[in-house]
Amino acid sequence: RSHAAMLRGAAAAARQAFGRTAKHTKGQQKRFMGGHDEKVPGNVPMEIGMGLVIGIAAGVYVRNWTQNDIKDWASSAAPAPAKPASAPKKAAPPAAAGADFDAWVAKMKAASPADAKDTDDFKYITFTEVPPFTPAHKSLMSKVLTPQLFGQLKDKVSSKGFSFSNAIQCGVLKPHLGVGATAGDEECFEIFKDLYYPIVKGWHKFDPYTQIHKSDLNPENLNFSRNQQVLFDKYVVSTRVRAARNISGYALPCGANPSERTGVENVLKQAFAAFDGELKGKYYPLGGMSKADEDMLQSNGFLFQKPGPAQLLAVAGAARNWPDNRGIFHNDSKTALAWCNEEDHCRIISMQNGGDVWSVFARFCKISDTIKAAAVSNGAKLMESERLGFLGTCPSNLGTGLRASVMIKLPQLNKDPHALEEICDEFDLQPRGSSGEHSAAVGGKWDISNKQRIGFTEVQLVQKMIDGITKIIAIEEKLESNPGMTPMQALKSM
C-alpha cells in the first residue's frame, strides 16, 4: 500500500472509533486546569484521538523517509580521505553497525598479545586494523584517524612502551567521548603528533604546527583593583583556579607501571612537605585511609573515586592497580588541594570563599612553583613543550591546562540562560548551570570560567575571566535597575 493510502485508512479508523467514544461520553468529560473543573465539549476526545492516530502514522512515515534519505546522503556524500601520491588507493571501511563493531572489538581483543602494562583487571588491546567507526563515534580522534594515518602510526611505540593502540583505545571503545585519545608519556606528543595536533586544533582552535604557546605564572602581572574585589565580593560566592602538572621522565597514568607511579608519588610528597605558611597541610594516601578521613574528605568534596567502567580513565588504563600510590593533599585552611596520580600526576586547585581572584591565583602559582622545585631537586622537571605548553594525559588540557572560575549569583541573568551564554561567549567565558552547560542555575548561582586553555598565558586567561565577570556584573546591575530591559540590550548599552 502507498503511504498516502495508509494515512487515509488510519484517519478513517480513527473517526469511526472515536466517534463511538464521543457519542457515549458527550458532555461528561472534565479536565483539571489551574485547580478548577471545566466542561469539555463532547467532540474534543474524537478530535484528539484522530489527531493522535494521524500524527503517529505520519510521524512513522516521515521518520522512515528521513532516515532512508540520511543513509543515502551519507553513503554518497562522504568525502574520500586524501591519499599520498605514492600510496595505492585504499577506500575507508564502511561504518559498522553496533553488533558488527562489537564483534570486531572482540576479534581484536582475542588476537591481542600480552602488554607489559596489563593487570589482572585490565587488558590493553592491539588494533591491527583501522577501527570501523560507527555513526555513534563522536570523538575528534575518530574524525582525524584515516586509514592512511592509521597505517603510518599503528606500529609506533614510545620508549616507555606506550603504543598507538594504547593511545586510541579509549576513543575506540567509548564512542561518546569528545577527544577520544590519551597520552601515556611526553614522548607520545612527538611520535603521535600527526594524531594529536589535528585534535588540538579541532578542540582549542590552536594550531601546534604553526603556533607557539607561552606561559606567565607571575600574579603581579594581573590587574585586579581593590574596587573590583569589593564588587566581586558582593556577587561572587567562591573562586577557584585549577590545572594539571606532570613530572618529566615518568609515564603518565595511562602508561605508568607501579614503580613509576611510586616515583611520582614520592616527588609530590616531597613537594607537599616543602609547603609552608598558608600551604602547610597533610597528605592522605587513598590506600588504607581511615573511615574518619574518608568521611571528612568526602564531606568537603575533596575525595576522588576509582573511575567507573564507562569513564575515560578506566578504559584508557589509568585506573590500574587502584588505589596504590594515589592520594589527596589539602592545606590546613582547605584553600589548597592536590590530587596525586588520578588523570594526571598532580591536579592542583587553589580556592576560597568570596571574590579575591588575585589571592587565589597567587596561591595557585606558589603551588605550581613548589612542585616544579621538587621535580628539579629530584633531577627532573615538569612536562612542558614549547608548542603545547604543559603536557598532560588528555589533549583537552594542554597549554596552561588552566580553568579559573567563580561561583557567582546572577538572579536577573538567570531568568534567561541562553542570553547569559551569548554574553559569556562575547567575553570568551563559559557558564555552567546547576545541571551543567545549557541549564539554568538553582538559586541563580552560576559557575563561570575561561573557555580557552592554550594559546594564551595563565595571566591572560585569568585576566579575561576578571574583565568578563566585571562586565557581567555591570549587566546584572543594569537589569536590576531597569525592569523590562533585556540582557542583550544591557550588553549593547555598555
Q: What is the pLDDT of residues 133-167, one digit of tens each?
A: 999 999 999 999 999 999 999 999 999 999 999 99
Give the three cell numbers for residue 328.
Answer: 589527596
- The dihedral over CA atoms of 284, 287, 293, 298, expressed in degrees to the nearest 10, equals 100
Residue 105 has a CB neighbour count (10 Å cut-off) of: 17
Average pLDDT for 10-31 = 41
CB hemisphere CA count around 113 (13 angstroms): 3
Residue 365 to residue 378: CA distance in whole angstroms: 20
* pTM, full prediction: 0.77
Q: What is the pLDDT of residues 270-293, one digit of tens each?
A: 999 999 999 999 999 999 899 999
Q: Is the pLDDT of residue 39 over 70?
A: no
Residue 72 to residue 99: CA distance in whole angstroms: 21
Q: What is the pLDDT of residue 142?
A: 97
- With cut-offs at 50, 70 and 90, classify the pLDDT of residue 436: low
Lowest mean pLDDT across 33-47, 330-344, 345-359: 33-47
Rounded percentage of the chain residues whose pLDDT exceeds 90: 75
3-state secondary structure of 73: helix
Give the three cell numbers for residue 419.
Answer: 542570553
Angle made by CA atoms 123, 131, 66, in degrees to the nearest 5: 130
Q: What is the pLDDT of residue 79?
A: 34
Q: Is the pLDDT of residue 89 over 90?
A: no
Q: What is the pLDDT of residue 435?
A: 67
Helix H segments across 343-451?
357-377, 417-426
Ordered strands of the 445-450 beta sheet: 281-285, 327-331, 336-340, 346-353, 236-245, 403-409, 445-450, 429-432
- With cut-offs at 50, 70 and 90, classify the pLDDT of residue 437: low
Average pLDDT for 72-82 = 34
DSSP bridge pairs for 408? 236, 446
Average pLDDT for 106-130 = 97
Q: Is the pLDDT of residue 406 over 60?
A: yes
Q: What is the pLDDT of residue 97?
A: 62
Q: Is the pLDDT of residue 95 over 90?
A: no
Q: What is the pLDDT of residue 77?
A: 32
Residue 67 to residue 71: CA distance in whole angstroms: 6
- With cut-offs at 50, 70 and 90, classify the pLDDT of residue 17: very low
Contact 206, 385 (CB under 8 A): no
Q: What is the pLDDT of residue 438?
A: 64
Rounded percentage of the chain residues whose pLDDT exceeds 70: 79
Q: What is the pLDDT of residue 53?
A: 40
Average pLDDT for 245-252 = 97
Average pLDDT for 298-310 = 91
Q: Is the pLDDT of residue 453 over 90?
A: yes
SS3 string, 304-344, reads CCCCCCCCHHHHHCCCCCCCCCCEEEEECCCCEEEEECCCC
- With cut-offs at 50, 70 and 90, classify the pLDDT of residue 409: very high
- From residue 274, alpha-carbon distances to 269, 338, 369, 377 in Å are 9, 14, 11, 12
Average pLDDT for 109-118 = 97
Q: What is the pLDDT of residue 309?
A: 87
Q: What is the pLDDT of residues 382-404, one digit of tens each?
A: 999 999 999 999 999 999 999 99
DSSP bridge pairs for 29? none
Q: What is the pLDDT of residues 317-335, one digit of tens each?
A: 999 999 999 999 999 999 9
